Each structure stands twice: as structure tokens, then as C-alpha cells.
Chain A
Amino acid sequence: MEDVSNTIKREVETGVLEKVGEVTAAINSAKHVDQVICALHSLASLLFPLDSSLLSGIIDQRYRDEILSTKAPSANERGDWWQAFYRGPAFSTLARILLLDVASNWLACFPLSARKHVYDIFFVNGPAAKVVQTLIPCLQHDGSDGIDVNAVHSNTERLVVLCLLENNGVLQISGEFGISCQFKDSTDECLKQTLSRVAQLVASIPDKARLRAPISLSSHSFFKQITIQLLSGAEERASTLSDKAATFNKSEIDGSLLFTGEIFSRICRRGSSDVLLSELVPRVLRHVRGFLLSSSDAALSDVFQSNPGSEVWLKLMQAVKDPYAGERMSEQLLHQLAIERVSDIEAYWTLWLLFNQIFNHQMSIRSLFVDKFLLWKVFPVCCLRWILQFSVFKCPPDADPLLKEHDTHGFLDTVQRLVAVWSKREFVQSAPMEQQAYVTAAVGLCLEKMSKEDLDKTKDVMHSILQGVSCRLESPTDLVRKMASCIALMFSKVIDPTNPLYLDDSCTEDTIDWEFGLSTPEKRTLSTSTFTEKNLKETKTSLTFVPKEGPNCKLNDGIDNNVKSRKKKLSDFKSIDPDEIIDPATFNYESVSDQDDDNASEDSDCSSDSLQPYDLSDDDNDLKRNFSQLVDVVGALRKSDDADGVERALDVAEKLVRASPDELTHVAGDLVRTLVQVRCSDLAVEGEEESAEEKRQRALVSLLVTCPFESLDTLNKLLYSPNIDVSQRIMILDVMTEAALELTNSKSMKPKHQTKAIISTISETQPWFLPSSIGPPGASTWKEVSETGTLLNWSNCYERELPPKSSEIKRGKTRRWSLKSVNMQESQMEWSHNKFPLYAAAFMLPAMEGFDKKRHGVDLLGRDFIVLGKLIYMLGICIKCASLHPEASAMAPALLDMLRSREVCHHKEAYVRRAVLFAASCVLAALHPSYIASALTEGNLELSNGLEWVRTWALHVADSDTDRECYMMAMSCLQLHAQMALQTSRALESPESTIKQNVIGLPSNPSKGTIKIPYLNVEH
């Protein structure tokens, strides 16, 4: 029997092959399109139930009869032929002819219905998996054998759309695999290979499609459509399976699901997991919500497991074998859920449904959730809650906390790992802020669930937390400190729920914002919307208040008036009241005053006018003992037990110093020392520490400005002395920074030198970097035009006012009695800018000297990194203040030398690195290009090495620093460096010409108010 069937089969196969050979020959020898159609029709009619009359209208009379005369085989015969055609090599042979030769030569001439019935039919009605395997390679046919590549490609694309999308080809494929799976063992290697190959081919279609391909083949819409096909197929199958639940093998995954998983992992691999999940999530959510609505009891997990409709979801993630794809999917799932703003319960069950089985069975997934998602990724906080709920607490969020069925062991294990990471100093130093906030939130949420007993069970959680909190509290970043105080609060609640510890006044509210303000954009819009709602409410309430208040006020006024008038009346009646208790004294007083009033009214005509009271306001400022001598101030400041005296001394100190008395130079050192050592916070009244501190700083600044050398001498000694604490060191540096800035901006007026001296000197009295003062008489001095906003200002513009020419005098309505320049007064005065360069060395050199020494209480490179950062910042400001002065060039090499020392520029704290970048940028901006040029020509290696180091280091930081602000700053530093290099190269190229330009260029257009020096201008 088997032999017979085999021989029949073989006969059919040879028949099919012969027929295909005939058709191929006919196509090859065809002279007319109708011949091709006839040949194809003869084959198609053997394979498919075809209505030949449909073709009769469109082809020539000669062939019509031929087509109509072909007899259709019986259904059984057709089935055998179909099987033989597609199982054997016949299909691929014919498909090759069809896709290449026919497509390029004949297909354009095919009538539409002919194309459909004798051409497309071979692909549409074939087994999809087989068709896909033949179709898709043609998408990339290279056209080496002289056929029209474009025609082939576009035709293939058309067929792909037709087969896979319009005819649900992907669903068909998965169905085919499902069926083949039932016959063979699903673990069959061969099947698996085919499966993955087909999946690979299908997923690669968007990559292979040309640019001009239909939009439905673009990766987004293509993946979306095949996802929809697969998911709806899976759901449908689940619903059909639910009827015959018994046949369903629970532990096994059938071929179609396997194929779905394969396709899904390929889609994720190709970076379209968002498309996939946007289809997947609503379906799962619908499923979960349906259950949550229907069943009320707590044992939801059992309900899910017993329901066959859930099976497909329970096994879906199992089918996704690729771990990378699994990770991408779970990540995307969390984000999608966050966007959908699902409730905690829904999210928990969604996660449970999809991941519970593999979470329990697969180590990699477990570590994905417990490690990667908690420590390395950053999700919104709501996602973090779900992750913790699912993977760590392992109970739905609405579960009774008393019935703790989760294994505390795993929970505590996770907490321990989290806290260990959180408490590391390196983590604080190097992790990005979002990461830190996320891990902090994870720790905090875990602590929320912890009890005192749990804490006792763990070994070193308490220790780690304390360590983490303390190292965060030292941080210069406010946010980091806030994290510490939040964790401290949670921790204190674990230890004693009744006695929470508030390290910070600001976080007194019960709920802690674990986002720390670093929320994701979606979240932010949400918060703003709620915010506006709140606002609306507020305005509403206020609106309701306002009209209430209005009449109230009026009422009050009215009442007041009434009361007043009534009082008057009362006083009128007073003397008549018989029950009144009369106090003789008051009686006397009243009578007297009445009498006096009468008197006054009598002689009011002469006295009342003259006795108008003056302003009686009085304050007691002058009553406090005021200091008029600096020595007294010093004395008072030293008496730390007399808080009042110290406060008053601080009040007057700045004024006295600014007056710059003769003895200032002798007292300055003492005064600086006492001011630094005054303990403002101890002395000042509660709440006024700030103002006292400010006064102290201003006094110090004024000292530094009026008497720089003496004050700096003392300050620099104090800076590294072991007797002061970090805050005082920081204060010293702040004060020096401010003083440098003030010195830079100081303006002093001097009577102007008469430039028209009898003997003209070659060297000008003004600084070298200003343009020459040649010009018409009456011109004012050059002033730098500052370009606001930019830190560094390379295009130095100078401007001056020129007197109007006689022809330009405008007649206005106001008459003036002379033709004098309006600003004659000004021109007689000379503004001398920037006194700082004179003191630059005194400011910078001693401060740079001792930063790397570790002494008792002084450890700038290690513990006191904030001081180091401040110091570098101060030095940066200093060099900036000396910008373009020769002093800057003198100080720059030393500063760069300090910056490039390894412990500084590779400091672990981003704070220090930021300061270094700032200072380096300042150096770049402060150096005059001509100086750099001359340094280069003279072979001054120190400077050129330093500048080169700035470039390489900034490159390094921009490449590899973890701190965002650092690499942003490094980028701008590089930009500055490039500008500086450009300027320098210009200065190098034509030193002579620029000088000429400078000299000649100026007087050439004196009529303009503003003259820009050509060689300093840079087009940004």
C-alpha cells in the first residue's frame, strides 16, 4: 500500500517537474505576453481551482481557446499536484523563473487580473514558510545576470506585502509550525533551525527593503503589523484551546508560540521593542484587568494559572529565548506601564503574568530584576516600586503585610546588596545623579518594608547605612545631602517608628519624594498638570475669599465709624452716668485736661499752629556703643563672651575699613585673624546667623581690597593653619574670590593727564592692550565694551566717544551756550580699571603653595576636597581677573602646573574636576594670544606644554567622565582652546602686518564711534 502511494507520489512529482520544465521552456521561447500567460495558466490550473473564464477577456483570440480548452483536474488530483509542487524542488525552480525572468521581462505587460490569477497565485496560495524562504532572498538580488533589478525588487516587495501582510502570512507561518509541531517533537533540531531561519528572514525584511519600498515595509509599521498578527493569533488559539483544555500540554511550548518568541526576540534585537510592547501591553493589561474585576479573592495567582487563556501569556516570555531580547522587553514593558499610569496592582500582576515562571526558573532573569534593574538601570520611581514588589517582596501590593509569605531571606539579601552599593564612597563620587537618586529610592523603599527584627537579622546593613549617610552629608551637592537625610529618616523610622529623625528642616512632610526632582519627562508633565490643578483650586478658593473680604473691610470701617461716634456720645454722657465709680485722680485729670483743652482752644489762634509735633519716630541705633577705632573693633571681636559687642563690631567693621584710616595697615593682620576666628553662628541671635556671617565676609572683603598685601599675608597663613576648620577655610577662599572680583571692577577717578604734552613720548601711558589714543582732540578714553553673558570674551571691543565734527552739530530745541563736548567733565577724569593684576601674585602664589601637604587637620586632596575645589575655583577667578594683563601670563604656567598634577586633575570627586576645568578655561581665556605666540617662538616649553595638557585632558574628560557637568565643561574648554589656538596662529602668522593694521587702521575712520581692533575680532 505504501509502495503504491509512494509510486503514485513519485509519478506525480515527475509529472510536476515535467510540467514545470514545459512551462519554463514556453516562457523562455515566448514572443508575446499572452504566450507566457498561457503557459503559466496551464500550470496554475493544475494546482489551484481556477476560473479560466476570468482570463478570457484579456488575452488575444488565438490563446483564448487554448486557455478555455484546458480541463481542470479533480480536487484530489489537484491536492496531490499541489503537494508535489510545493514539497519538491518544482516550486523553487518555478519561483526563480517567475521572480527573475518573468518579473523583469513580461510582468509589466501582464493585465491586472492575469497577474493576480496566474502569477501571484503561486505565492499567495503556497505554504507561507516555504514562500517566504524563496521570496525574501530575491529582495536583495544583485542583478548580475542582466535582468532589470528594479523591476525584480519592486515586484518582490509587492509580493511580500501581499503574502505576509495582506494575507496574514506570518500568522499562517506560525500556524504551520504549530501543526508541524504536533507531529514531530518540538525539540527537534531540524525544526528549530527552520523556525529560527524563517523568523530571521521575516524579521530581516525591513532591512532588505529598498528606500522606495512601500511604507508598510518600513520597520515600524511592518513589525507592528506582524506583532498584531501574531498576538491576535495567539489569543485566538488560547480561546480555542480553552475549550479543549485537556489536550494542552502545560509544560510544553508549541511551535507557533516558539515562532512568536523567535520573531519577538528578533524584533527586540532590531531595536523595535517599543513597537512590540505598545501592542503587547494593552492586551496583557486587558487580560489582567478582566481578572481583577471578576475575581475578588486574594489567590489570584491560582486563578491565573488555572485559566487556559492566561497560558499564552504565562509562556510567552519563556518562548523568548534570547536573554538580550528578554531584557529589552522587560525594560520596555516597565516604561510602557509607567506611561500608561497603571495602578500598582495591575502592574504587579502584569509582571507576574509575564515573568513569574521564568523568574522562578531562570537565573538570568532573576539577576536581571534583582541586580540590573535595581542597581544599573534607572527607571521612574513607580517602576522601581513594581520591580521591588515583584522581585523582592514577591507579593502583590495590596497583600496583607502581616501575612508575610515572601521569604525574608531573599529580601534581606537584596537589601544588603543594595545598601552595600549605596554606601560606597566611590558610588557617591562617580555615579551619575539619576543613578544615585534611583538607588537611594530603592534603598528607601526597601527600608519602608523593613522592621526592627529584619534589621537585627542582617549583619552590616546598619553600619553601611550610617556610613553612606555620613559620606553623603559631606557632599557639596545639595541633592546628595537630601538623599542622605531621606534615608536617615527612613532608617530612624525602622529603628523607632515613633521617633523619626529629621536631619533637614525641609523634609518634614511624611511622604518623601524619591524622585528628588530628577523626574522623567512624562512624569514631569504629569506633575505640572496636577500642579496647575492645585493652582486652579487655590485661585478658586482665593476667589471665593476675595469677595468675602471686600465687604468685611467695609463693614469694619463702618463699624469703626459707628464705634467712634458711639464713643463720642458715650464721653458726652459720661459725666451724667450715676453708677460710675469715680476715681478722684482720673476725675481730676479729666477735668484738668478739659480745662486745658478749653485753654488751648482759647489761645489756639496763637499757639496751636506753632506746636505742631515733629516726627516722633525714634530708634535706638545711636544708643549702642559704636566703635570708631579699628583697635576697638579687634578688641570687641576677641571678647567672644560679649555677643552684643561682637555683633556691633561686625556692623561697623566694614565701614571703618573702607574709610581706610592710616592705622589700617598695622591693624589689618590682626583684624583679619580675629574676623576669621569669630564664631558667628554661636554669637548671633537665632535666625540672624546669615546676616552676621555676611557682615563678617564683607568686612574681610573690604580689608582685602583696601589693604591687600597685609591682609593676604595673614589669610594665606590661616588658610593652611591647623587651627581653623573647613568652613573657615571655605570662607577664606570665598572672601578672596570676592575681593579679587571687586579689585577687578574697582574704578578710581584721577584727573586726566594732559596728553598733549610738549614732549611726546613714544610709549603711551595707557595699557598696551588698548588701542592707541591717536584721534581728534576731545576724544574720550577707550572703554572696553563688555559682551554680556559669555564667560570668556574673545572679541575685545573698545569704544570711545568722539567730539562731534563742526558739520555734525545738531541744533536741538534746548539752547546751549557753548560748543563744548557734553562729556567734557568726563574727559577730564580718567577711569582706571582693574587694580587686581598688581596683587595677582600675592593672591595666587601662597595659596598654590601648600595645597598638597597633608598636615594635622589639613587634607585638601582627601577629606577636604571641597576646600580644594574652592581653592581652584578661586585661582581660576584670579587668573580671569588678571585677564590679558602681563601678570596673567606670568601666573598661568604655575597655575597649569598645579592643575595638571595627578591628584588634582584626576581627583575622585567631580566637584574638584569641575573646578579644574573652570580654572583651565579661565587660563585659556586670560592669556593674550600675542603672549602665547611669543612664548611659542621663544620656545617657552612650560606654557606650551601646559596648554597642550589642557587640550588632551579636556578631551579625556569629554570622552570618559561620568559626571555630566564635567564633560559639558570639558567641551566648552576644548572650544576655548580651539579659539585660542586660532588667535595664536593668527598672531604668529603676521605679527608685522597686525601691528601695521593696528596703527594705521585706527585713524582711518575716526568718524565712527566704535572702532574694533581688527586682529582681535573673532567671528564666533
Chain B
Amino acid sequence: MSKRAPPDPLAVLRGHRASVMDVCFHPTEPILLTGSTDGELRIWDTVQHRTVSSSWVHSAAHGIISVACSPLIGTNKVISQGRDGTVKCWDIEDGGLSRNPTLTIRTNSYHFCKLSLVKKPYASAKQAEGPTHESERKSRETVDTERLHDSRGEATGSEIECSTNQEDDTHSEGAKYVAVSGEQNSEVEIWDLNTAERFARLSQNCSTGFPNISTKGRGMCMAIQAYLPSKSQGFINVLAGYEDGSMLLWDVRNPGIPLTAVKFHLEPVLSLCIDRSCNGGISGAADQKIVMYNLDHSTGSCLIKKETNLERPGISGTSIRPDDKIAATAGWDHRVRIYNYHKGNPLAVLKYHHSTCNAVSFAADCKLMASASEDTTIALWELYPPQT
């Protein structure tokens, strides 16, 4: 094993005046979206490492909890969630955000749980599309080199993907949803982003006949990940982590009864992330563990794959790179840790931030990683770049 020193950040983005809560790469453009606790949403150019625009999207008193964008809701859309009980949807215009949100959802929930857009696995996308698309996608996927032949090729590739996603959106309406922790803190609510109406409520308090699912109070919902499993015929599944360290898996078709309940953690689950194929994920909590797990949708079970013990507690953010090779965690101990997602072994401990890290995120092209920290900086990292 080589004893290389862990890398330093490629760049450090400074400009926020308060703790940076969330970070999100744009799916296609080389821009980065960040939100801080004083309500400022900044857009950064990840090539030039400069601020493109800055706007106050939530009140300074409440601040932003989460910033998200996804090809499924449109590449020109950004969702911001504030602690003022609203989720706002913005358009990205050239040079910044639209003056006013295109949509405001009043969830009336005041908490720390980050919202989740619906994640769609490649497999399901493949299924949903016609055979021509499928072969084309297959070729692109298996031969990674093609995608990165040159920057133009990549750009076009992304565009194609994005356009197909758009098609998917149009095909499956259900994808334009957002899952948030509800007004009742223990509930998960799913809102329709088109109509700004509540689509479903997933309550854990309903009575179930299943003996393996405890009906005891699990406390607040702390982390949510919504996704579209390949076999659900376009119905959203939601994985939610709770205050007591348990995780519930829901199918929207059956909002009364969760598919499964597991308890990997001893402390509140703070972050969840699901990989590209939606067959597994990683979770971080306030205890000293990182858990990697597998999701089996056929049996509706969640099984632990690898449990990593840490020296110090608190993982506030997790992320898996879109190529499923590595995963990153943002820790209260100021560290960003990198793991091999397949084997679960640690790869690096990144020390740059000198305050709590709040979030990590990977770019869609797998080249960059961004970490956001309470020290008001965002660090850009280049780790194990995909081979060309």
C-alpha cells in the first residue's frame, strides 16, 4: 500500500458569510450551487472557481437547509429548502437565478432534514425506454471511453442523457416530486413539483400487522432519499432515517405500511444516499458508524453490507459518486472521508476544513467532488478521476 499523503483541495471557494449547508453540482453545466445558513444561494463556476451569482433565496434568519437539482426536474431548475418552512423552485437563467421562485411550497415544517428529489436508476430508465435507446445507452455505459473522448463528446452525451430524462419526465409524471420531512416531524411528505400540492404522506404511526416492524415512536425524520426502483412501475420508494437510528423503506403505493424497517444506527440517522442502480446505499448518523447496505426490492428488505467504525462520531453528509466507485462522507470532525463503495474500505481522509463539514457532493462527470463546511468555505477535490 502506498503511503501517499492525502490530496489537498483543487480549489477552495470562499464567499459565503455563514456556514455552508448544502452543495450540489449542476447535472450538465460546470456550475456548483451552494446554500448557506444566512439564506444565500451562490452559483459557482467550477472551471474558473468564481462566483457566478449570489442571491438571497430565503430569509437570513432562517437560512437554507438544502439545495438540489436533478435532471429529472429539468436542468434549468433548482430547488432550495429553507428553515422558514418553504421549498422554492427556481429557474436558472443566464447569469443567475430568476428573480422570483417559479414555485413555492409551504411545507410548514421547521427542521434540519434535507429534502430529496427523486433519484432514478439507470436500469429503470433503460426499461422505460425503447430498445433503440437501450442499445445506445448500453454502448455508452459499457464503453466509458466514448463518453469522455473529448469535452464536446461528453457535452453531447450529457445532453442526450438529459433529453432522454426529459422524455422520461414527460413519460412518467411521478418523477417530478420532492420528498420532505413533513409538518408532523415524524412524517415524510411527498409534494408534486408541478402543482405544489401534497401528493402523499408516509406516516410511521399507522398500525401494522407486521411483527418485525415496531410501532414505537422513532422520533423525527432526519434524512430522506426518494427514488424510483426499477421494478416499481414508476412509483416512488422512499428511504427515511429517523431519530432513533432506524430506517424505514416505503412504497408510495402503500403509505400506511413501510416495506421494511431496519436499525443499523444507535443515534439519529443524519444522511442517506443511494447508488446509481438504486440497489444499495450508504448512511451516516450521529454515532460512530458508517453503514453500507443493500436494498432488495423483490423481497423489500434492506441488508447491511459493510459497517465501518469511526474514531469520532457524526456524519452529516454522505454521497456516492455517480459511477458507484467511491463514496464520500462529511463529518463533524472536519474530515471528509472517502471509501471504496464496492469493498467498503477507506481510501482517504481529507483534512482541509477547520470546522464541521455539512455536505459532500460529486459532479455528474465524476471528476470533481465538493465539500461544504461550517467554516464558510467550499472545497473542490479531484479524487480518483475516472480513467479515460
Knowing A600-B342, A615-B4, the reply to whether A589 touches B304 (Cβ < 8 A) is: yes
Residues of A within 8 A of B333 (CB): 620, 623
Interface residues of B in 297-348 (CB under 8 A from A): 303-306, 311-312, 325-326, 333-335, 338, 340, 342-348
Interface residues of A in 602-632 (CB under 8 A from B): 606-607, 610-618, 620, 622-623
Knowing A588-B294, A592-B294, A616-B349, the reply to whether A611 touches B340 (Cβ < 8 A) is: yes
Interface size counted on chain B using CB atoms at 8 A = 36
Interface size counted on chain A using CB atoms at 8 A = 23
Residues of A within 8 A of B2 (CB): 612
Q: Are B387 and A613 in contact (CB under 8 A)?
A: no
Q: A620 vs B332: C-alpha distance in the bound complex, in angstroms?
A: 12
Residues of B within 8 A of A615 (CB): 3-6
- Cβ-closest chain B residue relative to A612: B2
Q: Are A616 and B348 in contact (CB under 8 A)?
A: yes
Q: A480 vs B345: C-alpha distance in the bound complex, in angstroms?
A: 61
Q: Which residue of B7, B305, B347, B386 contacts A613 across the interface (Cβ within 8 Å)?
A: B347
**CB of A513 within 8 A of chain B?**
no
Q: Are B303 and A585 in contact (CB under 8 A)?
A: yes
**CB of B1 within 8 A of chain A?**
yes
Residues of B within 8 A of A618 (CB): 311, 335, 349, 351
Knowing A592-B305, A596-B342, the reply to whether A611 touches B335 (Cβ < 8 A) is: no
Q: Are B7 and A593 in contact (CB under 8 A)?
A: no
Number of A-B contacts (CB under 8 A): 76
Q: A612 vs B325: C-alpha distance in the bound complex, in angstroms?
A: 12
**CB of B354 within 8 A of chain A?**
yes
Q: Which residue of B311, B347, B349 contacts A611 across the interface (Cβ within 8 Å)?
A: B347
Q: A623 vs B384: C-alpha distance in the bound complex, in angstroms?
A: 27
Interface string of A308-326 (1 = CB under 8 A from B): 0000000000000000000
A608 to chain B, nearest CB (A): 9
Grouping DSSP codes into helix (H, G, I), strand (E, B) and loop, the A interface class, with mixed when no group exceeds half, is helix
Q: A596 vs B341: C-alpha distance in the bound complex, in angstroms?
A: 10
Knowing A614-B4, A615-B4, A615-B5, the reply to whether A593 touches B345 (Cβ < 8 A) is: no
B46 to chain A, nearest CB (A): 21
Residues of A within 8 A of B349 (CB): 614, 616-618
Interface residues of B in 357-388 (CB under 8 A from A): 384-387
Q: Which residue of A599, A600, A611 contacts B326 across the interface (Cβ within 8 Å)?
A: A611
Knowing A589-B304, A592-B305, A622-B351, the reply to whether A616 touches B343 (Cβ < 8 A) is: no
**CB of A897 within 8 A of chain B?**
no
Interface string of A89-121 (1 = CB under 8 A from B): 000000000000000000000000000000000
Q: A259 vs B230: C-alpha distance in the bound complex, in angstroms?
A: 130
Q: Are A622 and B5 in contact (CB under 8 A)?
A: no
Q: Which residue of A597, A606, A616 contacts B346 across the interface (Cβ within 8 Å)?
A: A616
Q: Are A607 and B346 in contact (CB under 8 A)?
A: no
A460 to chain B, nearest CB (A): 63
Q: A618 vs B331: C-alpha distance in the bound complex, in angstroms?
A: 13
Residues of A within 8 A of B1 (CB): 612-613
Interface residues of B in 1-60 (CB under 8 A from A): 1-7
Residues of A within 8 A of B306 (CB): 589, 593
Q: Are B305 and A593 in contact (CB under 8 A)?
A: yes
Q: Are A611 and B5 in contact (CB under 8 A)?
A: no
A602 to chain B, nearest CB (A): 10
Interface string of A929-973 (1 = CB under 8 A from B): 000000000000000000000000000000000000000000000
Q: Are B347 and A614 in contact (CB under 8 A)?
A: yes
- Cβ-closest chain A residue relative to B346: A616
Q: Which residue of A589, A593, A606 contacts B343 across the interface (Cβ within 8 Å)?
A: A593
Q: A600 vs B311: C-alpha distance in the bound complex, in angstroms?
A: 27
Q: A611 vs B342: C-alpha distance in the bound complex, in angstroms?
A: 11
Q: Which residue of B144, B304, B385 contacts A585 across the interface (Cβ within 8 Å)?
A: B304
Q: A606 vs B387: C-alpha distance in the bound complex, in angstroms?
A: 7
Residues of A within 8 A of B345 (CB): 613
A615 to chain B, nearest CB (A): 5
Interface string of B277-308 (1 = CB under 8 A from A): 00000000000000000100000000111100
Q: Which residue of B4, B305, B384 contacts A589 across the interface (Cβ within 8 Å)?
A: B305
Residues of B within 8 A of A600 (CB): 342-343
- Cβ-closest chain A residue relative to B144: A606
Residues of A within 8 A of B340 (CB): 611, 613
Q: Are A614 and B348 in contact (CB under 8 A)?
A: yes
Knowing A585-B303, A589-B304, the reply to whether A620 touches B312 (Cβ < 8 A) is: yes
Residues of B within 8 A of A622 (CB): 334, 351, 354
Contacts A606-B387, A611-B384 given; 10 further ones with Cβ under 8 A?
A592-B305, A607-B325, A610-B385, A611-B325, A613-B1, A615-B5, A618-B335, A618-B349, A620-B311, A622-B354
A sample of 13 inter-chain contacts (CB < 8 A) reads A588-B303, A589-B303, A589-B304, A597-B343, A599-B342, A611-B325, A611-B347, A613-B345, A613-B346, A614-B5, A616-B346, A618-B349, A623-B312
Which chain A residues have a beta carbon within 8 Å of chain B's beta carbons?
A: 585, 588-589, 592-593, 596-597, 599-600, 606-607, 610-618, 620, 622-623
Shortest 4 CB-CB contacts between residues of A and residues of B: A614-B348, A614-B6, A613-B347, A588-B303
